[in-house]
Structures are given as C-alpha cells and as structure tokens.
Amino acid sequence: MSSMVLSTGVDQCSDPGADELRQFRGELYRCLTRRADELFELTEAVLCAEGPVKTLVDLSLAPEHRRGHGALYDGLNCGQVDAERLRGQLSRLPVPRMFGTRIVLAIDVSPWLRPDATTCPDRMFCHVYGRGRGRSADQRIPGWPYQVVAALESGPSSWTAILDAVRLGPDDDATSVTAAQLRAVVGRLQDAGHWHDGDPAIMVVMDSGYDVARLAFVLADLPVHLVGRIRADRIMGGPTPPRSTDPRGGRPRKHGSLMALADPRTWSVPNTQASSLTERYGISRVGSWDRMHPRLTHRGSWARHDGPLPVVEGTVIRLAVEHLPGQREAAPVWLWSSATGADAGEITRCWQAYLRRFDLEHTFRFWKQTLGWTAPKIRSAQAGERWTWLVIVAHTQLRLARHRAVDLRRPWEKPLPLDRLTPARVRRGFRHLRVKTARPASAPKPSRPGPGRPPGVKNRHRAARHDVGKNATRDATDAEHR
C-alpha cells in the first residue's frame, strides 16, 4: 500500500506540493557538478532504503541505486556538490513561521565523532553530553563538528527547515564563523523575499555555548533578535547611572547596580512578571530585567577587540517551571535577549521560541539514527561534507512530501494525524512517491573490468596520520622550518 497518494481527481501537475518537490529535485541534480548521477541515486537510496541506514555500502543494494558499490565510494570521494547554490535553493523554499508571521531560526552544533580515525584530517575535540551521570561525565571526543541553522515552526513537531550547515575547522573562531553564517542566512532569506522592511525581526535562538552578547554586537546592523541561554553564575550590570555632578569629577561609571544571577538578594524588582499554566511543565513563572548587560573582558571572542569594550544592553529573562516531564525537579533557566524595552508579550515569545530550539535536537537524532549521517567511515573531510549535504537534501525532500503522506504505522505504534506525521513515517512511503516525481539521473553504463584495484597491485595511496585539532598545512610548514 502506498503511503504517498495524490488527491482524488487532481492532476499531479496542478498539485503545489508535487511541483515544489519536483522542482527541488531538478535543482538538486544541477547542484551536483561532478558524479551527479551517482550522488543523486545515493540520495534516493537513503530515502528509500528499508529501515535505518547502518552502513554506507548497504545502500548500493537498494533498487533505487542502479550502480555498484565502487561507484558509490567514487561519488563521495571524487564528486562535487555546489554547496553555495544549494544553500540558495534551500532558502527559496517555503520557510515555516512562528507566532503567526515571524521567522525563528535555531543554531546548534552536532558532532560526527571519529575517535579512532587517525588518518582523518581536521578533527577537533567535540564536547559530548550525556555519556554518564553528572556534569563530570561529559567527554571531549575527536570528531568533525557541524554547525546547522534551521527554521522552526509552531506546535508539537519534530520538523525543521534546514537552511545551512558549516563544518568547524581547528583554526576557526567559533563566534566569527557563527556571525558570518547567520549574516549569510539572513541575506539569502531577504533575497528570497521571506523578509521585508517592516516585518518583525528574525528571532535567532541558541544555547549557552554561544557568546550571544558578542553576536549581538557584531550583527547589530541586521534585522535579528538574538535569544541565548546564559549560565546561572553570571553577573550582569544594570543601566549606567547618570554622571554625577560632583565638582571633584572622576571617571564616569560604566556599570550600574550589579545583579548576580545566583544571589536573589542582588535582584531588583523585575520590569515584567507573568505566570501561566503549561501542559508539560505545570505553572511557569517568568520575570525580566530590562537594559542589562554582561561585564566584558578582553578574553575569548573579545580578546582582539580594538578600543574600549562596549556596553551591549539587552534583557535578562528568568524562566522557572514547576516540573519537567516525568515530575522531575527543574532548575530555573536564564536567558539573555538582545532586545530592550520588550513588553510581556515579547518576553513570552522569547522563552517559547527558546523551548522550540530543542526541535533541532530531534532533527540531529533523526539524521544519525535513521538516515545514517554518522554511520560511514569516511576518511576525507571533504567527502564527509558531501555526505552531509546529501543527508540534508534527503531530509528536505521528506519535509516537502510530508503533507502528501498517509500513516503507515507499525502494529505497535500509535496512530497520528496526517499533519503530525514524523519524518521517519513519511520516509516509509517515499519510494512510492519517487516514481511520480522527476528522476533526472541517467542509467548506468556497464564497464569492464570494473571498479577497484586490480589483483596483485599494491596500494600506492597510503594516508598520512593527523593529530587532533591540528591543520595538515600548518604542520607541514612547521616541519620545513625545523
């Protein structure tokens, strides 16, 4: 039974969903500038394979993959993907909205762990959570970290619209890369007509690993509203008091009254307060303090700042809920918003958008557990980037097909409404929809003697070994000086 059906009595050519999917698949093929047929069929195999993707070579056995396993590895190692053109195509697709008409973006990093791959260059130590109980159980494991930007949607959903992905290198400054990535994404959304003058500012939510104050300072010329989580041990400065009229003069004060987030005795009266009853967290209580700024020092992303450090004012938000799902005790969450003078409604939208940030975690889990993003043992970082883009476009095709799916659930699964189908359930029937869309890849041509190294010939391409967090070019230069 097909889980992808066209509406009764409606021609396929007049179906907007079919047109969007068909146009995207055609544009995807044009973005594959080398080994296009193989890379396109590899994406088809990811979408149509039975069950989760466990190994890369098993995809060559899928009926949709008409080429051999040698062509599969050749496509990843020697193929080319026009990533910049593909980013533009992703930005031109329909973008989900929150709070009616507002674009909300989430940015986060997910690692592709490669602890034993000593021949893989550009590996870094990735911070991995949840490997044990307690904060002391967190580990640093070598791998390739990828930073992803996605648009979020309202309601209980695990869908996100991926807009960009960048691999962080050993020599990259995380804050500079994040600022450049967000600037490029916002620019493409403006060029695509998703944001115009007079629209609400694009909200960007992020976790505590980002320097949200530095990003707000660097991106001050963009129509963005940054919301990030801050540590509970931070000390924030209040509004700068007016300069004293004391005739003795003296240096003007840079910070107002200090607010230690961990010490309630230093808190002033909140500018806004609200409480509401939530379905999953019980009673939520929110308070906000306007025109609060962090005390900056010439460290981290501010180490190379020329001149005196600025005062980046924003709004401090404290969110306290009664309990977490499962009646677990919940510690308060502290957020910092780059907007000042926000009313109670805007404060509510800030913490609600931040809670929706965890939808991106569901996307990462789907990539790894179902689409097999981190399953291949790829040596080259460039081949890893090609595979990452294939996983992204596979997820995008599922998003475009979600409204044309029916629920093919397992006997032990609960039924879901059609508007709440998960990406894994939509993927089950994509094989039936594939035959009704564009398939630009040409048929393979048989070759002899076939791929692979001829018998008796030694491997002449032995890979060099690389240390974690070091650049191969820099290591070679250091060796010449020695």
Tens of pLDDT along 84-138? 999 999 999 999 999 989 999 999 999 999 998 888 888 999 988 766 555 556 7
- Closest CA relative to residue 423, chosen from 362, 342, 352: 362
Cβ(208)–Cβ(230) under 8 Å? Answer: yes
The residue type found at 237 is G
> Average pLDDT of the chain?
87
Mean pLDDT on 248-270: 85
Q: Residue 9: which pLDDT band, with cuts at 50, 70 and 90?
A: very low
More confident position, 19 or 286: 286
C-alpha–C-alpha distance, residues 295 and 309, integer Å: 9
Instruction: For residues 370 and 466, give the distance between their C-alpha atoms in angstroms, rounded to a whole number.
Output: 30
33 φ/ψ angles, rounded to the nearest 5 degrees: -85, -10
pLDDT at 383: 95
pLDDT score recorded for residue 476? 45
Is the peptide bond prior to 449 cis by the omega test (within 30 degrees of 0)? yes
pLDDT at 265: 94
Of 478 and 254, which is predicted with more confidence? 254
The strand pair at 272-278 and 258-260 is best described as: unpaired
- Residue 355 has, within 13 A of its CA and on its CB side, a CA count of 18
- Given a cut of 90, whether residue 149 has pLDDT beyond it is yes
Lowest-confidence segment of 6-15, 330-339, 419-428 by average pLDDT: 6-15
Q: Say if residue 314's pLDDT is above 80.
A: yes
pLDDT value at position 237? 92
Measured from the Cβ of residue 314, the count of other Cβ atoms closer than 10 Å reads 26
pTM over 0.85: yes
| Model confidence pLDDT, tens digit, residues 246-256 | 555 667 777 78
Mean pLDDT of 415-429: 87
Question: Does residue 398 register a pLDDT over 80?
Answer: yes
Residue 150, pLDDT score: 97
Reduced to 3 states, what is the DSSP secondary structure of residue 96? coil
Q: Which helix (H) or strand (E) holds 111?
A: strand 104-113
